A and B are shown apart, each in its own frame.
Chain A
């Protein structure tokens, strides 16, 4: 995405107040063609920046984009001087958008590149904790993360005395270890963090506590309280127990702590009164995720929010389609980690809400409450 002049069509970089070609102030950010040519490369052996000094040698280069501008960029190891490259903006360890050049064609083990892995949170080789293995989303996430090459997936199961659907398959999976974890219970979370907190590279919070109803049709507060205990306080417990160690391990070699993933209802962004109290608990989690993102940033650990519409699970059985398949959520988690994204919207409903919110938030509120 680059600035493009609305008057003459020139792409510009870096961002300016007026078009360098025609001086028009009409400069909107738009998706730009991503191809370019690597003009030159430089390997920094003693970078001035303390962050990169630890990571030296570090390759950067100058890319002439086919759409016009020339960018200073981080380089994938397989980019050759004079060769064609494909550009993208990535969030670096500090959460800053930076340019990154890939080779134009796929190369062997392309995603294993050291500099690329600094920009992403690829599950390959990493150790993952999936917090709730009872849910279908949790089980799909475990499978997707294993397929993506996670070296081990720890999967939390609360109340282990209670059997659950899919338990046998989960127990049979190679490289998957079931651990006791009841995220509503502060001590349970602290105990698990004491055991494995020092080796969790990616934490995927698959907590799922969905109950229908808003305020007036519910008697008492116990259901509301359950929602807060499971979603919000569970998040707090996880963050306090696992967050500090992850923040310390943001540059712990190949296996560095890399990301924290939340699965949030898109109704965290705009209340859906049919699931009104649930929406509110999700909004609280969304707010908390922004706090966590800021607190994990100094350690270079990303917080990824995966927004979904109603899932195709029992607790949304009264909701008409379209619904999001748990497998699609799992796929989106892995994809976001591989691409180093902070925010993804899965499925039509989530994407629809996102777009409508951007266009007219008051209309969304009114329509969801209709």
Chain B
């Protein structure tokens, strides 16, 4: 590609020919975080502590100190996050190849199914049916699961019951298949976690984490605005913070889609 094409691309972004869609939730203290049984260590929620706001602590400037876990808000999972990916090379957010941070996406709409069944599981036949309409999922593409879960109020979004969370996700077979047969670069969801709420009961447990990270692929979760993306043709920009040996990070996820000029 010559520099001219790149400049054309920049021009298209500026003119709106290429539309930029923000797939990110605001990083705020009240955003639900993953809930583990309380005897396990917990993800720190987002905390924003003011250092100064044009006041005695800093007359001309406003700034905050932040605390949050690597897996809070809209966030990225690196292969090192799961035991299956622990020994892979370049498996942490600071070492993963930067070119992987920009890749196209296939968006599979399961919103109707998820609305009927909070425990909806994506299956191979479901994806094959999608491929009949939209073509085979190419290699090095993200697969994003649109469930419209991001439009819910926080309580329904977390959907915690006595036996844990009830949110949609992939089954084990489709995860293995997407990684091994389709060579996806990663898998993204609107829910808290790439796996379904009850995925601990699948075999293997948490198959999205198991197969994605075991195969050196990535996860994105707590995405929003997936309903604005076309089934194919969107380009995802997902660059996690360069945290030393980080297992993931909150990040701004952007989608580039064809727009009106």
Contacts and interface: CB of A to CB of B under 8 A. Distances in A.
Interface of A: 159-163, 180, 182, 184-188, 220, 222-223, 225-226
Contact of B154 (A160, A187, A225): A160
Interface of B: 29-30, 32, 35, 41-42, 44-45, 47-50, 153-155, 157-158, 160-161
A161 B29 contact: no
B32 A222 contact: no
Given A161-B155, A182-B29, A185-B29, A222 B47 contact: no
Nearest to B154: A161
B29 A222 contact: no
B32 A184 contact: no
5 contacts: A160-B154, A162-B160, A180-B30, A184-B45, A185-B45
Contact of B157 (A161, A182, A188, A222): A161
Given A161-B157, A162-B158, A186 B50 contact: yes
Contact of A222 (B30, B41, B160): B41
A346 B117 CA distance: 49
Contacts of B158: 161-162
Residue from B30, B35, B44, B50 having most chain A Cβ neighbours under 10 A: B30
B203 to A, nearest CB: 28
Given A161-B155, A162-B158, A163-B160, A185 B32 contact: no
Contacts of B49: 186
B44 A222 contact: yes
Given A162-B35, A226-B42, A188 B160 contact: no
- Nearest first, the 9 A-B pairs at minimum CB distance are A161-B154, A161-B155, A161-B158, A185-B29, A161-B32, A222-B41, A186-B49, A163-B160, A162-B160
B44 A186 contact: no
A187 B41 CA distance: 24
A188 B42 contact: no
Contacts of A223: 41
A188 B32 contact: no
A155 to B, nearest CB: 17
Given A185-B29, A186-B50, 16 more contacts: A160-B154, A160-B155, A161-B32, A161-B157, A161-B160, A162-B35, A162-B160, A182-B30, A182-B45, A184-B47, A185-B47, A186-B48, A188-B30, A222-B42, A222-B44, A225-B44
